[in-house]
Structure 1
Amino acid sequence: MEEQDSRHRTVCVTGGAGYIGSSLVKKLLEKGHTVHATLRNLDDHSKVGLLKNFPEANTKLRLFKADIYNPDEFNLAIQGCDFVFHVATPFQNSTQSSQYKDTTKAAVASVESIVKTCLRSGTVKRLIYTASVMAASPWKEDGSGFKDSMDESCWTPLDLPNNYYRSNFLKDYTFSKTIAEKKLLNYECKENKLELVSLACGLVGGDTVLSYIPASLGCLMSQPLNDPNSYQSLEFLQELLGKVPIVHIDDVCEAHIFCMDQWSLQGRFLCASDFITTKEVADYFCRYHPDICIADEFLGRHGSTVRWGSTKLNDVGFKHSYDAKLIFEDSFQCLRKMGAFE
């Protein structure tokens, strides 16, 4: 796949203070790009300070207030940009918002608004959407079990019984990411002025520039942490997908930038370097970190026989740098540095 020239660009990152967003902003600045990053609240000094302390931030970073529940607020941040990374996503419905009744409505509205803003801008060449593998379940349409493999053709069925979901949050998040991603990709056939890329990421681990444990990292490490709430989410992922796709935060950021750097690119790409079971996670820490005591209820289970069948991102030239062991080790050292195992 041919890459564009390496000139420095102006890009927008929505949700710039989140787990993926903050690491992506940092990496883009390091590569010399000018970054427009959005935050819900510019009066949050901890988040603003985090971003402003990145190298090159003084001259290359502009911060904009924009809330996913008020999608028109993203207009100013997108103006003059060459590429947009739509990373922000609603996790829980805002009780102060009367505009949207749930997270799905908010997620779809933000996608629609940002696509239209990119089209109106006259400058944005490509919109890269941070999707989730939770929207790519390999369940067969007739509900009889899993397909042989999980790839870009898989979509999570929205007619699963309510008791399948372990919490309202997991149901709402799965619905919002699935419907919003489908909405984005439907624009592909209607508009040819803007390239649309959906990057469906696995469960993200590794280090973080944040001062707290991000939900994704906490979920991946829920077994050595003996955290019942996060472990519930991890088990749900395995039930939904057969096994758990995992990916390192550095690979996630590099994959986003890779998708920007290509001369032309559009469509859906799954992004994960390993496809593991909850039992394999527990077995790893029991073997290599025996000082960490994992309670019996967190020792995990064997998954299904479904295989990771996605090669689309690799086929266009992207290479993951981190395997499962490196993801586990970097995640472990990150949490140890934060004092999680004291």
Structure 2
Amino acid sequence: MEPFKGRVCVTGASGFLASWLIKRLLLSGYYVIGTVRDTGNDTKLAHLWRLEGAKERLTLMRADLMEDGSFDDAVKGCAGVFHTASPVLSRPVSDPKAEILRPAIEGTLNVLRSCKKNPSLRRVVLTSSSSAVRARDDFDPNVPLEESCWSSVELCERFQIWYALSKTLAEKAAWEFCEESKIDLVTVLPSFVVGPSLSPDLCTTASDVLGLLQGKTERFEWHGRMGYVHVDDVALCHVLVYEHKDAHGRFLCSSVVLDNNELVSMLSARYPTLSIPKRFKALDRPYYELNVSKLTSIGFKFRSVEEMFDDCVASLMAQGHLSPV
């Protein structure tokens, strides 16, 4: 472990990515304040207390995205704040504006208002998404998407792509607030996150991968073409852009972009005993690539798609979600 590096806050601490981020911050020598909605939920939080360094340098505090000022105490005295908490709903919603958009946007602004009150603050790192870049209908398939691209709000509203809309509007609101408030903000835009889950409770994305490995196609059918990235790489990326003094702006974080059929071809060859679908029906989705040179130019190296799925499959088997191969 490295020497003590200071105090940082991670919102949504029990989440898939946040748990890995806390693991990496603790291993790097930080004192971490994690926010959760219920500090008394021992079952949901047990995996965090098992992390190396947690007993000495982890504190969990209650905070709620929709409660004004509830992050004040958590971010107080922190040099860095990592805002990862955001709604990801797997079920159909009756009121997407109330259930997805408002928590994402207002929750982000609520965290940032608390950050503004904190004189110790050095930098905020916000977890956005590649879906804040790629939901658009006007790009050239020969030119990879990069950080200057934004998803079309009009397109997202027209096709009811609520997750992409929530990430786009929340990130735009964050940039506007931080520019007005002179807060040093960096945003990380991961593609579809794959890898081992530290918590036995699977998040939406991990459940989707489990379903695919068990032969269920419905959650992947709408992907068509998708970027993939290892969860630990996303965590390491957050730490890198926090620590790198010349890191500014947005950072796309993705290892590879694959069509559904390229993905299942690789997976079925790698795990022949699993019930992976052989093919998906063709979707009329635009071809795109993601340009991640901004991140690799500051020294970042991504793990392969094979490694992220190997780690994911091993984790799902170890936790009993998937029968051993």
Name the TM tier (shorter chain). Answer: 0.7 to 0.9
The 3 A distance-change label for structure 1 pair 160 and 146 is farther
2:93 maps to which residue?
A: none
Quote the Cα distance in structure 2 between the aligned partners of 1:307 and 1:137: 9
TM-score (ref. length: structure 1):
0.84
Is 1:226 paired with 2:212? no
The 3 A distance-change label for structure 1 pair 236 and 221 is same
Is 1:332 paired with 2:313? yes
1:213 maps to which residue?
A: 202
1:249 maps to which residue?
A: 231
1:156-187 deviations in Å (ceiling 9; x for gaps)? 2122376745xxxxx33222111001111223
- Residue among 155, 167, 170 paired with 1:160: 155
Quote the Cα distance in structure 1 between the aligned partners of 2:300 and 2:216: 34
Is 1:236 paired with 2:222? yes
2:16 maps to which residue?
A: 19
- Three-state SS of the structure 2 residue aligned to 1:80 is coil
Q: Percent identity?
A: 25
Quote the Cα distance in structure 2 between the aligned partners of 1:59 and 1:274: 37
Is 1:190 paired with 2:157? no
- Three-state SS of the structure 2 residue aligned to 1:265 is coil
The 3 A distance-change label for structure 1 pair 221 and 101 is closer
1:341 maps to which residue?
A: 322
1:92-143 deviations in Å (ceiling 9; x for gaps)? 59xxxxxx834212221122222222122100110000111111116234xx
The answer to whether the 8 A contact 2:252-2:290 is kept is no
Quote the Cα distance in structure 1 between the aligned partners of 2:154 and 2:120: 39
Quote the Cα distance in structure 1 between the aligned partners of 2:285 and 2:313: 23
Q: Shift in Å at residue 254 of structure 1?
A: 0.6
The answer to whether the 8 A contact 1:223-1:299 is kept is no
- Between 43-52 and 55-64, report the one with greater CA deviation: 43-52
The answer to whether the 8 A contact 2:72-2:117 is kept is no
Amino acid of the residue matched to residue 153 of structure 1? S
The 3 A distance-change label for structure 1 pair 212 and 300 is farther
The answer to whether the 8 A contact 1:203-1:245 is kept is yes
Q: Shift in Å at residue 303 of structure 1?
A: 6.2
2:38 maps to which residue?
A: 41
The answer to whether the 8 A contact 1:139-1:146 is kept is no
Q: What aligned pairs does 1:1-342 form with structure 2 within 5 A after superposition?
A: 7-92=4-89, 101-137=98-134, 139-141=136-138, 148-160=143-155, 164-165=159-160, 171-192=161-182, 194-231=183-220, 235-238=221-224, 243-295=225-277, 298=280, 304-320=286-302, 322-342=303-323
2:94 maps to which residue?
A: none
Query: Structure 2: where are the runs of 5+ without partners?
Result: 91-96
Q: Shift in Å at residue 338 of structure 1?
A: 2.8
The answer to whether the 8 A contact 2:252-2:291 is kept is no
Query: Structure 1: where are the runs of 5+ without partners?
Result: 94-99, 166-170
Quote the Cα distance in structure 1 between the aligned partners of 2:311 and 2:226: 18
CA RMSD of aligned residues (A): 2.7
Amino acid of the residue matched to residue 46 of structure 1? T
- Three-state SS of the structure 2 residue aligned to 1:132 is coil
The answer to whether the 8 A contact 2:135-2:155 is kept is no
Amino acid of the residue matched to residue 227 of structure 1? K
Amino acid of the residue matched to residue 276 of structure 2? I
1:47-67 deviations in Å (ceiling 9; x for gaps)? 232222222222211110011
The 3 A distance-change label for structure 1 pair 310 and 301 is same
- Three-state SS of the structure 2 residue aligned to 1:36 is strand
Quote the Cα distance in structure 1 between the aligned partners of 2:194 and 2:83: 20
The 3 A distance-change label for structure 1 pair 341 and 53 is closer
